[in-house]
Amino acid sequence: MDLFILEATVDGFKSGEVDLETRMNQDPAQGAFFIGTIIDNIVDALRSPNAGASLSVSGHSDRDDNTARSHIEKLAVELQAAEDRVSSAIDYIHTLVRQREPSAPADLNSLSFFDVHLRAPGAAVLVADEVALTESRRRLNRRVQARLLVYKP
């Protein structure tokens, strides 16, 4: 059996922006890479006899530097942004898959040969972590990452 590991990241979300479709439309190069790397390979796995797959989708946020909030409040804000991004991402992934393969279920996790794992680490895994971050550096932290493992005989 062969294992294929594919990864794609869509970053550059504005503060408060969580919608993956909107972000991919704003940056067609990232969108095309995400579709070619993740969506097309999900569809290929669905169409391949005896294939199996596992999809991990993570929503990330930037750190909250609002001094008026407590540490716990900051963590809650960061977590909510990450959860909203991952929720938007999995919904849009299902939409894109079903556009290409109408027989695909509304929830890929309902298939016996396909596992979906969702993660929302908040700001625990930062790309940019300088003391004074510019908005362009903060946008690197606001991202959706997808990793697809495909098993084929």
pLDDT for the residue numbered 128: 80
In 61-135, the DSSP E strands lie at 114-122
Residues in Cβ contact with 140 at an 8 Å cutoff, skipping those fewer than 6 apart: 11, 12, 127, 128
Decide: 72 and 122 in contact? Cβ < 8 Å.
no
Average pLDDT over residues 28-41: 98
Residue 18 pLDDT exceeds 90: yes
When pLDDT is cut at 50, 70 and 90, the band that residue 96 belongs to is very high
Q: In the chain, what percentage of residues exceed pLDDT 90?
A: 83
* Residue in 34, 29, 32, 27 with CA at minimum distance from that of residue 13: 27
pLDDT of residue 41: 97
Q: At what angle do helices 71-100 and 40-47 cross, to 10 degrees?
A: 50
> What is the dihedral sign for C-alpha 32, 139, 58, 95?
negative
Cα(110)–Cα(106) distance, rounded to whole angstroms? 8
pLDDT at 44: 95
Predicted confidence at residue 77, as pLDDT, reads 93
Q: What is the pLDDT of residue 127?
A: 84
Q: Which of the residue ranges 54-63, 75-84, 89-98, 128-137 would you say has the lowest mean pLDDT?
A: 128-137
pLDDT over 90 (residue 126): no
Residues 93 and 57 sit within 8 Å (Cβ to Cβ): yes
* 143 contacts 124 by C-beta, under 8 angstroms: no
pTM, rounded to two decimals: 0.92
Name residues whose C-beta falls within 8 Å of residue 81's C-beta, 6 or more positions apart in sequence. 16, 18, 59, 61, 62, 122, 142
25-39, 73-87, 95-109, 124-138, range with the lowest pLDDT:
124-138
14: DSSP letter: P
